[in-house]
Amino acid sequence: MQLLDYLPTIADFPKPGIQFRDISPLLGDPAAFAEAIRHMAAIAQQFDYSHIVGVESRGFVFASALALHNQKSLVLVRKPNKLPLASHRESYGLEYGSDALEIQSTSLPTGSRALLIDDVLATGGTLIAASQLVKQVGAHAIASICLLEIECLGGRDRLESHGIVSHAVLKTP
């Protein structure tokens, strides 16, 4: 099964010049989705972690399935003003703008080891922000796993310079 066949490119979305990868066809095919989670679970086996941190919003889908598959606790990193309790905020840049993420202050036990999960690794800004949030609550971001990495945007190099080992199931130039 070629998982890239389930991730069509949508030109000029959400802004002109951006080549967006749509995960909807992959999620709509149970066999393709299960295969993607099996690949992520195989990568996750090499790490010693206590929690899975899913990054809003599409990262939630993969993080939820992986947490259930691996029987690990799930923590959500959300867009601003979505969490009801005291939280920490971290701003970051995207290839087409800027944004921020938040994590609840009590969501991870001190010293816990978190595996970060998102759908696409592009510039790395989202995962770096999530890693910083994990640190702010006293936990450790040990690695990240994404479904797809867009290599030409250099996200892996940026993550490694922040001490984050990153893996992807699929890569595109």
Contact predicate 76/54, CB 8 Å = yes
Q: Which of 35, 89, 95, 151 is catalytic?
A: 95
In the residue annotation, 35 being an active-site residue is answered as no
| DSSP secondary structure, 63-113, as one string | HHHHHHHHT-EEEEEBSTT--SS-EEEEEEEETTEEEEEEEETTSS-TT-E
Q: Which of 58, 89, 113, 158 is catalytic?
A: 58
In the residue annotation, 95 being an active-site residue is answered as yes
Catalytic residue positions? 58, 95
